[in-house]
Amino acid sequence: MSEDKRLGIYIHIPFCASKCGYCDFCSLPGKDKLMPHYQDALLIQLQEALPDMKEYLIDSVYFGGGTPSYYGSARIAELLREIKFSNRLMKDSEITVECNPDSVKRSEIAQLRKEGVNRISLGAQSANDALLRLIGRRHDWHQVELAVKRIRAAGIRNISIDLIYGLPTQTREMWAETLARTLELKPAHISCYGLRLEEGTPMYDEYADSPDLPSDDEQADMYLYAVDLLQRQGYRQYEISNFARTGYESRHNLKYWRLGDYMGFGASAHSNIDMVRYAYTRNVREYISGVFDGTDIIEEKEELTPFDRASEYLMLGMRTSGGICREEYMEVYRSSFDRLEETLEIFRDNGWAEENEGRWRFTPGGFLLSNPLIGILLESQTRERFNANPWIKEAFEALGKKVPLPVAQEPYLN
């Protein structure tokens, strides 16, 4: 086996100072007592797993959460040292830590930098303090500005800022203001996510079907405004929600979108190694005791067939500006690309996709409709399934006649 295989490492830190109103992630507020046990479990897992990954070199490490900056730099440094000890970590690796503005401390950021962290992903979400309070964030915009200063002072240039649009009571103007203030900070990378209200979260109970939520048209305007503005300001859109200055695309996240190999550690962490996907339990206590006792902590596992892999290639590839092409598709799945191309041509006629030197990608308008359009693309892999799904048949007829798509049903809206 060659030494050329690349691996990303993801470490999930499920601790937060408090719970944001929209949060559906695996994160526990007020359970700091579990941190030392959790750290031991992570170290055990790393010590057990990394020696078996001899054919890989690690080129990205991502500490996500949760709030890794709340977990503390000393623990993150200890985990990084364990990864370095494997002798598999490349010198020019991308090493990212997610931080919240209220837990970016000068000394801690300096320690992270010293240990090799070279990218910070900062959860800013909005420049409007009233909105930040409404969604349960613990910080204001001033703290975001302060955090960026501290990160730069520590010598970390690669800063990514996360924003959310479509928040309750948010207007287009408020969103434009957030983007303008974010640009003043000159980050290398910006992520813009549309709010998703997940069942079981406090904001779902309060705002699902609420008139305070921006309408679909307003949200579409916010998205298209961001795409246009950020591109004008030198940020290339390389994925539906992600924008970067040249050379600052997230290497780690690109692995997810390009079917790369990655190994996750910690509660709820997902892995994808050689066509096998698995995820650990979301229950933090179960995760800790499972690692200590050697019992099974895998909650889901699936071996991808070549067809699954091809579907993933379509789904994930069309999320990126790199898009998809015939040669790559046929490499993943030895089957004809012709039907897909017919569908993509219909998308192009509608202004939703474009083709350049054999690569197909969505236009900004296509990204907006990406969920139903990807659904159609997947179905066109197996046209015989049309008859089993009347919506797909209707959608194709609508595309042919250039009339609006029929209202999508599950799972295409998800």
- CA dist 102 and 66 (Å) reads 14
> What is the closest distance, in whole angstroms, from the C-beta atom of residue 17 to ligand SF4 in the complex?
8
Check residue 204 for interaction with ligand SF4 (CB under 6 A). no
Place of tokens 């929209």: 22
**Structural tokens at position 119:** 């990218």
Check residue 164 for interaction with ligand SF4 (CB under 6 A). no
Contact present, 77 and 113 (Cβ < 8 Å): no
Closer of 67 and 93 to ligand SF4 (Cβ): 67
- CA dist 154 and 241 (Å) reads 28
Determine the interface stretch with ligand SF4 among 21-29, 33-41, 145-153, 389-397 (rule: CB under 6 A).
21-29
Determine the interface stretch with ligand SF4 among 12-20, 146-154, 208-216, 373-381 (rule: CB under 6 A).
12-20
CA 187 to chain centre: 18
Determine the interface stretch with ligand SF4 among 23-31, 113-121, 272-280, 319-327 (rule: CB under 6 A).
23-31
Closer of 25 and 204 to ligand SF4 (Cβ): 25
Q: Within a 10 A sphere around the Cβ of 237, how many other Cβ atoms?
A: 20
Determine the interface stretch with ligand SF4 among 17-25, 172-180, 197-205, 231-239 (rule: CB under 6 A).
17-25
Check residue 19 for interaction with ligand SF4 (CB under 6 A). yes
267 secondary structure, DSSP code: T
Binding track, positions 39-78, relative to ligand SF4; x by CB under 6 A: --------------------------xxx-----------
Q: Where are the alpha helices (DSSP H) in 159-280?
A: 172-184, 202-207, 216-232, 251-257
Determine the interface stretch with ligand SF4 among 15-23, 140-148, 324-332, 351-359 (rule: CB under 6 A).
15-23
> Strand, helix or coil at 80?
helix
Determine the interface stretch with ligand SF4 among 20-28, 189-197, 298-306, 387-395 (rule: CB under 6 A).
20-28
CA 144 to chain centre: 21
Name residues contacting ligand SF4, limited to 319-338 (CB under 6 A).
none
Closer of 279 and 376 to ligand SF4 (Cβ): 279
For ligand SF4, which residue of 11, 13, 20, 244 counts as binding (CB under 6 A)? 20
Whose CA is closest to 273, among 264, 265, 262?
A: 262
> What is the closest distance, in whole angstroms, from the C-beta atom of residue 94 to ligand SF4 in the complex?
21
Binding track, positions 106-125, relative to ligand SF4; x by CB under 6 A: -----------------x--
Q: Within a 10 A sphere around the Cβ of 137, how many other Cβ atoms?
A: 24
- CA dist 361 and 237 (Å) reads 12
Closer of 16 and 50 to ligand SF4 (Cβ): 16
Whose CA is closest to 30, among 14, 20, 15?
A: 15
Check residue 267 for interaction with ligand SF4 (CB under 6 A). no
Place of tokens 């401390």: 105
**Structural tokens at position 286:** 């179960």
Number of H helices, E strands in the chain: 17, 17
Place of tokens 């039907």: 339
In degrees and rounded to multiples of 5, residue 30 shows phi and psi of 70, 25
> What is the closest distance, in whole angstroms, from the C-beta atom of residue 122 to ligand SF4 in the complex?
11
Pairing of β 28-29 and β 15-16: parallel
> What is the closest distance, in whole angstroms, from the C-beta atom of residue 172 to ligand SF4 in the complex?
24
Check residue 377 for interaction with ligand SF4 (CB under 6 A). no
Check residue 16 for interaction with ligand SF4 (CB under 6 A). yes
Check residue 96 for interaction with ligand SF4 (CB under 6 A). no
Instruction: Point out which residues bind ligand SF4 (CB under 6 A).
Output: 16, 19-20, 23, 25, 27, 65-67, 100, 123
